[in-house]
Structure 1
Amino acid sequence: MTVAGKVLHAQLHLLNRQLIDQATGALLGKVDDIELDLQADPPVVSALISGRERIPALQVMEIDTAVKIVPGEVNLTRGDDWVERHIIDKIPGAGHAPE
């Protein structure tokens, strides 16, 4: 994958990078895997995978120490919401009680 004249190595520059919503700065998850278009010559990254969600390469806006994306219809916080409701909220003192 090439961005602004730079060659990116998927394992080094993409995997395990933080995903950030470009508009809000919200942390959305990490890049778990990549999807390649092997029909292209040379093969290119066609999507990033986070959890069970597929983020098309066109939604990737910037790759630096983190990957900034436009999430669109992708819901990357679904797993976090479930963990909060079913696990964290059941821990005594983990609710929204005053300190």
Structure 2
Amino acid sequence: MMSGRVLHAQLHLLDRQLIDEHTGRLLGKIDDVELDLDAGPPVVSALISGGLRIPAHQIAEIDTAVKILRQDLDLDRHDDWVERHIIDKIPGAGDATE
């Protein structure tokens, strides 16, 4: 007998908000999923957000958002780069990131 929940990645995972389970902080959105095709049936082995891989064992809960055990994941890295190199250079945008 198979245990666990059956989820459809397209409906239940992709483009869902990632939330730090401990702080409740919004961390980003799920861009893609990585599958373990050697498992039968295939299972999600990781979530991809902002080019970073979040291993499946760090997923705490899947609901309307996906709560993860952050454990030093730097999901803001790309947002910080965009802020420093693009947004801060737009005239009048000095207060936009605050």
TM beyond 0.5: yes
What stretches of structure 2 of length at least 5 have no aligned partner? Answer: none
- TM-score normalised per structure 1: 0.85
How many angstroms apart in 2 are the aligned matches of 1:91 and 1:57? 38
- Structure 1 outlier segments of 4+, above 6 Å: none
How many angstroms apart in 1 are the aligned matches of 2:12 and 2:30? 10
Tell me what 1:61 maps to.
60
Task: Read off the aligned partner of 1:65 and give its amino acid letter.
Answer: T
Task: Read off the aligned partner of 1:32 and give its amino acid letter.
Answer: D
Tell me what 1:88 maps to.
87
How many angstroms apart in 2 are the aligned matches of 1:6 and 1:85? 41
What stretches of structure 1 of length at least 5 have no aligned partner? Answer: none
How many angstroms apart in 2 are the aligned matches of 1:58 and 1:87? 35
Tell me what 1:34 maps to.
33
How many angstroms apart in 2 are the aligned matches of 1:5 and 1:35? 18
How many angstroms apart in 1 are the aligned matches of 2:52 and 2:35? 15
Deviation at 1:74, TM superposition (A): 2.0
How many angstroms apart in 2 are the aligned matches of 1:53 and 1:91? 27
C-alpha contact 1:54 1:74 (8 A) present in aligned 2: no
How many angstroms apart in 2 are the aligned matches of 1:26 and 1:82? 19
Q: Deviations over 1:13-58 (max 9, x none)?
A: 0001011111111111111111111111111100001121000000
How many angstroms apart in 1 are the aligned matches of 2:88 and 2:23? 26
Task: Read off the aligned partner of 1:44 and give its amino acid letter.
Answer: V
Q: Percent identity?
A: 74
